[in-house]
Amino acid sequence: MQTTFTDDQLKDPGIQRANDILRACVHCGFCTATCPTYQVLGDELDSPRGRIYQIKDMLENERVPDAKTVMHIDRCLSCLACMTTCPSGVHYMHLVDHAREYIENTYKRPFTDRALRWILAQILPYPMRFRWALIGAKIGRPFRFLMPDARLKAMLDMAPRSIPPVSRNDDPQSFAPVVTKKMRVALMTGCAQKALNTDINDATIRLLTRLGCEVVVAEGAGCCGALTHHMGKAKESHATAAKNIAAWCAEMDGAGLDGIVINTSGCGTTVKDYGHMFRNDPLAEDASRVSGLAMDVSEVLMKLDLPEGDAKHTVVAYHAACSLQHGQQIKTFPKELLKKAGFTVVEPADSHLCCGSAGTYNLMQPEISGQLKARKVRTLEAKNPDIIAAGNIGCMMQIGSATDVPIVHTVELLDWATGGPQPRALTEPGKKVPEIPILR
Amino acid sequence: MEMPAPNPEVLAKKARVVAQLQDVLPRSAVIFEESETRAYECDALTAYRCPPLAAVLPSSTQEVAAVLKVCHAEGVPVVPRGAGTSLAGGAMPTADSVILGVARMTEVLEADYANRTIRVQTGRTNLSVSGAVEEEGFFYAPDPSSQLACAIAGNIAMNSGGAHCLKYGVTTNNLMGVTMVTMEGEIVEIGGAYLDASGLDLLGVICGSEGQLGVVTEATLRILHKPEGARPVLMGFDSNEVAGECVSDIIKSGILPVAIEFMDRPCIRATEAFAGAGYPDCEALLIVEVEGSEEEIAAQLERILAIARTHNPVELRESRSADESARIWLGRKSAFGAMGQINDYMCLDGTIPVSQLPYVLRRIGELSKEYGLDVGNVFHAGDGNMHPLILFDANKPGDLEKCEAFGADILRLCVEVGGCLTGEHGVGIEKRDLMVDQYAPADLDIQMAVKDVFDPKWLLNPAKVFPLASSETRRMAVA
Amino acid sequence: MMRPKSEAELADMVAGATAALRIQGGGTRDIGAPVAGAVLSTGGLSGVSLYEPGALTLVAGAGTPVAEIEATLASEKQRLAFEPMDHRGLLGGDGVSTIGGVVAANVSGPRRIQVGACRDSLLGVRFVDGAGRALKNGGRVMKNVTGYDLVKLMAGSWGTLGVLSEVSLKVQAMPEAVGCVLVHGLSEVDAVSAMSAALGSPYDVSGAAHAPVGADGHPVTMIRIEGLEASVAYRAAKLTDVLSSFGGEVSVERDPDRVAAGWTWVRDVAVMHNTVGDVWRFSVKPSEASGVVANLRAAQPDLVVLYDWGGGLVWVKMPEGVDARQVDFHGHATLVRGSEATRKSLAVFQPEPAPLAALSNGLRAQFDPRGILNPGLMG
């Protein structure tokens, strides 16, 4: 596509990058077909192609965006289905991230918007604050009818019924492999995930050590920065990301690392992008070392020797998290692993479509998110699964809130199949108890 | 590209028109602010752009009728739009027009397997029509390259083809009936789940009329049972001539492949660099696909390979698995994307008699040197539908104009050898002014007479298909 | 009778006409409301002007005899895909059927369900409109969306929009082998279901017909397949499986002459040759076909019926002068054979709903402003 940036504008590395991306786009419109918001809203402005056009217009003219433009960009889930679809290799993620930062710097949002976004940025990345907020939300839920804003209601609704106690496994330490050591990996324990669900990290540690990994929880690592990054709050996201880079580089330069394992795919996409985020920063080299070692837990497991399990006649519907299938282009590994462990794996129709969770999206855009959730649950339930498995806590919360089919993290099933405990979600009150297969 | 001056009266009453549209549609269905209408200023042809007065997104035939009644009464031109994937600028607006998008109309209304038809709202994408009947083993045959995203509405407007139309025909051969709204806002039913017209074949003339006769909101389409299997074979040749002869011999042999695709060297190289499909480095490459049971496929491929061998191919690669088939198709399917990596491109669509292939490719090569612009050829060889992709730099002043002139020369060449300007993309805005090279004034006049009947005020999809000079008296008469 | 020898002469004759003209090819299809006027025959515009077997295309003057075209194609082992019906047996008469007549009447045969009608094989036309202008639309290439598709409009317009002077057609290679799966003794309801199953299979059926009274006096359902020898054998076996669940005895005919004869019998509606009575042609939704016939039979027990196109086409012979459109159905009915009096009193072509009739009349007024081309033929 033609662009009209001046030479002066192109001196800015951010604009330079945006220009390269825009020049690759041929405006063919293929991306509209797989964009969840376009499916729901049917408006060019709420499609990747339309957003690219709005971003182009905004950046070229150095225009302060109006409320409508911001609305259409805000409605983007960053699910990146468009990048999977794009025949021309347009890097939409970098473009929309740049646009979000531009909006954050130039556009003054209405007060309630700013307040909400500030609160989320102050709470979600911090597990302790988030835990208290969840407890508060649980207490506050009976008063939801008093809430003036659908988004506040959504926040109350999102809080789980039970909030797990802190897991000491998430503290900095090292777990020795159970069998001969094959590799040494750092586990990213995350932020929101460990406040909402401590089973995932526990299962990951058990599974990896059982398969020959030394698992390190690095001192100083925390939130990956994705939540604030997607709000355009570059300063905050870079600050948390920098801490991680420092923490993991220390491990790399110390006892050495063969991988940085991430079991929340939303975080994985961001950590793998550190190299780009810090490309014009003194941390550039370290950041790309970190990105180079970052792996989704399913990628690590493919390198290890997961034992083959007997057929269990348990039907697992695999929900592909967007950050995994589109952001990291990992499409087959989780299914292959589940099959290898003996599960019968099915997939919903339109598996490329987002469930509407998308970080804070379900909180900020409850209406669209709700429609996507209903659609996803409908297509999943149509496959009559015993269990739903996913590789991202956000999706698990989103889908879990609307179905009585139990939903678990892929690693919990793999851990269970290789000798770990039965996932807690399978016996959770209010969920259908699947017929429990005989496991080793 | 010359466009008629927008009607100042219409521009002046924008607020009134928008208010009336808001009366008949939900709020979110009327788009009129300047920052928003810009995204509707073009489709997949970005060389020509103009933001519309407004854009509307109705959800039902009734809403479409209501919109058209408003626009008809106010004398506002209407540009129908499917998914906006036209490479001919078929959905490009004028400043005084309302874009009428059917993207919100995506329902499957009825799938009737006993009668092998499906009825859909026309905003539904081509591929998702097949998707809706896939579990029962059926599919909708026309498969334009943009089938993932393009809407049935646009397919009908442009009479879209695809790689597999050698066997299954194009849209018009698979379209049985439509619900159409006239510019006056009247809803008419034409055809249905039965064959042929009772009187004049109005459906036949509506299909391919580029949205200038009415807005098609629902369609009854023929669906077919999927073949048991399909397998391609890849052939490399050391000259375009030989590849062309091979195509002709296969067709003459009596075997009907479902697709015969052709790529020339520049395109093969670009594709290899981008997608790495493992294509041989040769002058010309054919992908020939046949369908049927395993035995049937084997029998057909045996014949085809025997024919190919008589032309001394540099490579013959028969697919033996789904993976290998996907790899053979991978390069072809990434061809446009691959060319787009090199530079901006303009995709042409002329059709020529198959026997003229070698000559036309040679001439295109010569013209490429004269203009100093590279061109790659990838196309449906079985039916002579070429897709030369001319590379240019949209950010370099003068390059687009040079590219346009080059493209026009290629299309005139297609007409000269007995072919036509466009095989499946439509005339749109892009080839409008070349119509005089294919048709005499009277030939155009009789086509415009058809529009006089359906849209006497000439409000639907203005400034497309017919050269402005040819349509001037008609447009002036109603202005 | 006017019989121009060139398109220019044709144009002069039309331009110079001062009264209605009856447009004819070979005069073998006297269908439609009777037209009073001087006969204008296109028989003189004869001859194949271009034939490229490697591109599957043929261009011929409108007056070229169909037999000549078929012979030309046969010399290259090719044929007209849409298998045009020969109306002479049904209507009587011994004229020479022309390709222009086939196009003007959009005639097709049993293969309609697989490859489409004449209009689907028609690539281009040259014609003279009512003002005497020589015009063209389409061309001679298989894919062409340049401008409006008047080619389709001209096909089946029965000379009411213009006088065809030249047509170009997509042709098809003759298959190496043919076969016909026969199911004996099915009821009409079961036969339609059986044909639907065959057409809904992946076996690429090229004909599906049912005669409640076959050539031997018994019900027979016929499913045709064409292609490479191995393919026909394979699909015949598969279709035998598909069709054996409908209750009738299933057999396979592989003798090419017998298969061809059987399908010519269907194509030309031989069961109604040399009979008395009106012949109606119903185009319906296939699943409604046997119901339409049952409703007709309730009022008129002595019908002769032939189903083609898997039930989508139903030929019905009725007593003279009875309006067959009194039953409810989705589709259209044409009175193909009837006395002049009946063709005047009952609409030969299905009357169109008002908005469509307005569009059709508008088109006729544009193409033939003086109303001199087969006026009133289509109603």
Interchain proximity B148–A57, CB inside 8 Å: no
Buried/exposed code over A194-213 (b: 16+ C-beta within 10 A; e: otherwise):
bbbbbbbbbbbbbbbbbbeb
- The separation between CA A219 and the C-alpha centre of its own chain, rounded to angstroms, equals 23
3-state secondary structure of A337: helix
Q: Give the pLDDT confidence of C142-195 residue by residue, as tens digits.
A: 999 999 999 999 999 999 999 999 999 999 999 999 999 999 999 999 999 999
Note every long-range contact of A93-96, with CB atoms under 8 Å and residues 24 or more positions apart, other chains counting. A93/A269, A93/A273, A93/A327, A94/A17, A94/A18, A94/A21, A94/A276, A95/A18, A95/A21, A95/A22, A95/A52, A95/A55, A96/A51, A96/A55
In degrees rounded to 5, what are phi and psi of residue C124? -165, 160
- Describe the strand order of the beta sheet including B344-347 as a list of residue ranges: B315-318, B230-237, B284-291, B259-264, B375-380, B388-392, B344-347
Q: At C291, is the pLDDT very low, low, confident or very high (cuts 50, 70, 90)?
A: very high
User: Do the strands B230-237 and B315-318 form a parallel or antiparallel pair, or are they unpaired?
Assistant: antiparallel
What element of type H or E holds C58?
strand C57-61
ipTM of the complex, rounded to two decimals:
0.97
Give the minimum alpha-carbon distance from A38 to chain B in angstroms, rounded to a whole number. Answer: 9
Intervals of chain B under pLDDT 50 = none
Which member of B38, B44, B334 has the closest CB to residue A29? B44
| Sign of the C-alpha dihedral computed for residues B124, B128, B134 and B139 taken in this order | positive
Let me know if chains C and B touch, i.e. at least 3 Cβ pairs under 8 angstroms.
yes
Q: In the structure encoding, which two tokens stand for residue B434, read together?
A: 């070349």
The CA distance from B242 to B236, in Å, is 10
What does the pLDDT average to over C283-300?
96
Q: Give the pLDDT confidence of A136-172 residue by residue, as tens digits.
A: 888 877 777 777 788 878 777 777 777 888 999 999 9
- The separation between CA A330 and the C-alpha centre of its own chain, rounded to angstroms, equals 13
Is C188 an 8 Å CB contact of chain B? no
What does the pLDDT average to over C31-39?
95
pLDDT score recorded for residue A437: 53
Cross-strand pairs, B388? B377
Q: Give the pLDDT confidence of C338-352 residue by residue, as tens digits.
A: 999 999 999 999 999
Q: In the structure encoding, which two tokens stand for residue C149, read together?
A: 């598709």
3-state secondary structure of C148: coil
Say which residues have a Cβ less than 8 Å from residue B73's Cβ, sequence separation at least 6: none
Let me know if chains B and A touch, i.e. at least 3 Cβ pairs under 8 angstroms.
yes
Interchain proximity B123–A42, CB inside 8 Å: yes
The CA distance from C269 to C266, in Å, is 5
Give which of A358, A322, A363 is closest to A229, Cα–Cα.
Answer: A358
Cross-strand pairs, C23? C40
Give which of C83, C85, C110 is closest to C205, Cα–Cα.
Answer: C110
The CA distance from A146 to A153, in Å, is 9
Interchain proximity B28–A43, CB inside 8 Å: yes
Is C215 an 8 Å CB contact of chain B? no
What amino acid occupies position A278? Answer: F
Q: Which residue out of C133, C137, C141, C284 would a mutagenesis test of the B interface target, given it has the greatest number of B Cβ atoms within 10 Å?
A: C141
Give the minimum alpha-carbon distance from B14 to chain C in angstroms, rounded to a whole number. Answer: 31
Angle at C190 between CA C184 and CA C191, to 5 degrees: 55
Average model confidence (pLDDT) across chain C = 96
Confirm if C69 and C49 have CB atoms less than 8 A apart. Answer: no
Q: Rg of the Cα trace of chain A?
A: 21
- Helices and strands counted in chain B (H then E): 19, 18
Q: Which residue has the tokens 């331009």?
A: C15
Is A37 an 8 Å CB contact of chain B? no
Is C341 an 8 Å CB contact of chain B? no
Say which residues have a Cβ less than 8 Å from residue B282's Cβ, sequence separation at least 6: B236, B237, B238, B265, B268, B314, B315
Q: In the structure encoding, which two tokens stand for residue B369, read together?
A: 């040197």
Give the minimum alpha-carbon distance from A194 to chain B in angstroms, rounded to a whole number. Answer: 39
Note every long-range contact of B2-8, with CB atoms under 8 Å and residues 24 or more positions apart, other chains counting. B2/B433, B2/B468, B3/B50, B3/B94, B3/B463, B4/B94, B4/B462, B4/B463, B4/B468, B4/B475, B6/B94, B6/B95, B6/B96, B7/B75, B7/B77, B7/B96, B7/B479
C332 contact residues in B (CB cutoff 8 A): 194, 196-198
Say which residues have a Cβ less than 8 Å from residue A148's Cβ, sequence separation at least 6: none
3-state secondary structure of B121: strand
Which member of B158, B296, B454 has the closest CB to residue C359? B454
Q: Give the pLDDT confidence of A42-56 residue by residue, as tens digits.
A: 999 999 999 999 999
Confirm if C330 and C132 have CB atoms less than 8 A apart. Answer: no
Is C64 an 8 Å CB contact of chain B? no
> Whole-prediction pTM value?
0.96
Which member of A45, A85, A89 has the closest CB to residue B341? A89
Q: Please give the interface size between B and C, counted as residue pairs whose CB atoms are below 8 Å apart.
A: 266
Which of A239-253, B239-253, C215-229, C311-325 has the least mean pLDDT? B239-253
The CA distance from C347 to C355, in Å, is 18
Q: Give the pLDDT confidence of A17-43 residue by residue, as tens digits.
A: 999 999 999 999 999 999 999 999 999
Say which residues have a Cβ less than 8 Å from residue C3's Cβ, sequence separation at least 6: C40, C41, C43, C44
Confirm if A28 and A86 have CB atoms less than 8 A apart. Answer: no
Is C147 an 8 Å CB contact of chain B? yes
Give the minimum alpha-carbon distance from C152 to chain B in angstroms, rounded to a whole number. Answer: 5
Average model confidence (pLDDT) across chain A = 93
3-state secondary structure of A332: coil
Intervals of chain A under pLDDT 50 = 439-440
Q: Which residue out of B160, B164, B200, B416 would a mutagenesis test of the C interface target, given it has the greatest number of C Cβ atoms within 10 Å?
A: B200
What element of type H or E holds B386?
none
Interchain proximity A88–B394, CB inside 8 Å: no
C349 contact residues in B (CB cutoff 8 A): 198-199
Give which of C314, C308, C317 is closest to C337, Cα–Cα.
Answer: C317
The CA distance from B267 to B368, in Å, is 14
- The separation between CA A306 and the C-alpha centre of its own chain, rounded to angstroms, equals 25
Q: Which residue has the tokens 């689907």?
A: C120
Give the minimum alpha-carbon distance from A170 to chain B in angstroms, rounded to a whole number. Answer: 42
pLDDT score recorded for residue C132: 98
Interchain proximity C355–B186, CB inside 8 Å: yes
Residue of C nearest to B303 (CA): C228
Is C129 an 8 Å CB contact of chain B? yes
pLDDT score recorded for residue A389: 97
- Describe the strand order of the beta sheet including A315-319 as a list of residue ranges: A344-346, A315-319, A387-390, A407-409
3-state secondary structure of B192: strand
pLDDT score recorded for residue A440: 40
Q: In the structure encoding, which two tokens stand for residue A96, read together?
A: 């929309």
